[in-house]
Structures are given as C-alpha cells and as structure tokens.
Amino acid sequence: MILRGKVAIITGGAMGIGLGICKVFLKLGATVIILDCSDKIKNALEELIKISKNIIGYKVDITNKDLVDKIVTAIYNRYGKIDILINNAGVFKLTKFLEISDELRDFHFDINIKGTWNVTKAVYPYMIKHKYGKIINLSSITGVKVAGIGEVAYATTKAALIGFTKSLAIESAKYNITVNAILPGYTITPLFKKFALNNNINITKSVIKEIILGIPIKRLGTTEEIGYLAAFLASDLANYITGAEFVIDGATSIPKIKNIDV
C-alpha cells in the first residue's frame, strides 16, 4: 500500500476522474479529503466509506479563496500534515470563440486556473513546513497535444496548467516538493456526458464506437487507471520525477491521420 499514512486533498473528488482517484488512493492506504462544490459529495462519501473510513469531504467552491484557506487550515490542524494535493476540479463548456461571453470565459478561467491556484497556495506553506509534498495537476491532452472546434476557453486553461506545473516544480525542488501534471484523453465521466448533453450530442453506443475508432488502443480509459497513475506520482516511488507531464490517452494524440489501418 504505497500511500499508507499519507494525507491527500483531492479537488473535484465527488464524481468522474476525481472519484476514481479517491477510490484508488483509499485502496492504497491514504487518508483522503475531498473538496467539491457539488451536492453529489454526500453520495460520493457514502460510496467511498465502504472502501475505507479514512475519508472526509468539504463542500466548497474553490474560487472562494478565503473559504479555501480556512478549510485547508482546518485540515492541517486535524491531521498535522498535508502530503498530497490533487488539483482535479475543472469545467468544460463547448463554445465557439466568437460566441464565448466574458462570463463563460471567466467561468473556465476562475475554476480551472484560479481555483487550482487558490488551493495550491493554501496547501503549499504546509508542505514547505514539512519539507515534503506531492502536487499533481489534472490538465488534458486538449490544449496541450490536441484541440478541437469550440474548445478555446477550456484548451487555454489546460495549457496554462502545464506552465503552472513546470514553473512551480522549479520553485518547489529545494523543499522536497514535486509538481507534475496528468493529461487524460477520452474518459466517460459525468463532465463528458454533461458536455454532450449541453451540445446536443447523444452519447450512444454508436457514438462511443466512433470515438474508440480514433483511439489506437481501441478502448476508453477508466477513471481508476488515471487514479493509479496519480498514485504512483504521489508516492515515494516517484521522488525523482518533477515538472513532468504524463499523457494517459491510449495513444489518441499520436496518430497523424485518424482511423487508418495498414
């Protein structure tokens, strides 16, 4: 159990990739604290406590810096340390560039970038104090490796997280804090389904089949697979890895031409 005794904060842990990461971390011995603004956090906690009792959650909007600071302080006072931070919380709304309102642009920027900034800045001093920490930012292949129509706001935020990761990794090295990024590809999550619903895309078996045709490994990834990658990076097995980005997309972002089999 490579995370035994570790205390981990996971944002956006009530569903999707975040929930998958929580499940893996609990199985591997970590104490997990979820920060999530969704009402689904209650159901998530009821599900996760069946894996381990070392789980609590706070309903919080991570754009609220003062509240984030108070909650992180409470977490530190309760456990005496914060070993791991998984910045997973994020939003995605497909909209073409000329149709994006300033409000929708800021919706992406405030949560995907500023929210990550707020939580990291609240946790970071405690990691420095203990000369130990693992920070993992959930970016995406979108904006870093690939991009599509209507993804400008989302892609911009996910690309920004790579700059955040690399720059903070340089500053953190002397404190024995590592900072890395995970770039997932296609994963069926509530966020993906909500994106489809908002854009009148019916996620049927035939649509999923079309998506899979563009994935060389010929299947979708699972949230738990992303969780195991996060667990490795959060463990002492990865102490010499920092400032790096890890693509986990079944080779989706590699082919020059899609759906060609020779």
Q: With b meaning 16 or more CB within 10 Å and e meaning fewer, what string describes 101-126?
A: eeeebebbbbbbbebbbbbbebbbeb
How many other C-beta atoms are found inside a 10 Å radius of the C-beta of residue 41? 21
Q: Which residues are annotated as catalytic?
A: 154
Cα end-to-end span (Å), the chain = 43
* Cα 61 from Cα 54, distance rounded (Å): 23
* Cα 36 from Cα 63, distance rounded (Å): 11
* Cα 1 from Cα 176, distance rounded (Å): 22
CB 60 within 8 A of CB 68: yes
For residue 180, give the 3-state DSSP assignment.
strand
* Cα 132 from Cα 145, distance rounded (Å): 31
Radius of gyration of the chain (CA): 18
